[in-house]
Amino acid sequence: MVKNKDAIKKKISYLIDFAISENKSHKSNPYIKRYVKLAFEFAKRINYRVPKEIQRQVCKNCFEIRDANNTKTRITRGKVNHKVKRYLQLHCVSCNYVKKISI
């Protein structure tokens, strides 16, 4: 089982790297979302947490790869337990999903 998990982890990293490189070179490839979705499904199947760098590059709602054309970024403030915190908001234009990352 351990060997199988390692093989699936390699497949996950390969699929995501391939999708990112395809997105940079050919934006019209219709299978980019499918590659990313498959990678996240494999990760869920073996209970593997995808690294944060990859999670921030992908919208978890529509599996679109984030770039300057389909993402709006803002820095906002919010209160948590009576303390003011700053957040980086990543707004996906294609599905209107907002991801907040604390700074």
Overall residue count recorded for the chain in this entry:
103
Is it the case that residue 58 has pLDDT exceeding 90? yes
Amino acid at 30: P
Residues in Cβ contact with 24 at an 8 Å cutoff, skipping those fewer than 6 apart: none
With a pLDDT cut of 90, the percent of the chain lying above it is 71
Give me the residue label for tokens 């908001």: 89
* E-strand stretches of the chain: 71-80, 83-92, 98-102
Phi then psi for residue 100, to 5 deg, are -105, 130
Give the pLDDT confidence of 28-50 residue by residue, as tens digits. 788 999 999 999 999 999 999 99
* E-strand stretches of 8-82: 71-80
Q: How many CB atoms lie within 10 A of CB 98?
A: 13
- In this prediction, residue 28 carries a pLDDT of 78
Torsion on CA atoms 16, 19, 20, 26, rounded to nearest 10: 180
Domain boundaries, the chain: 2-102
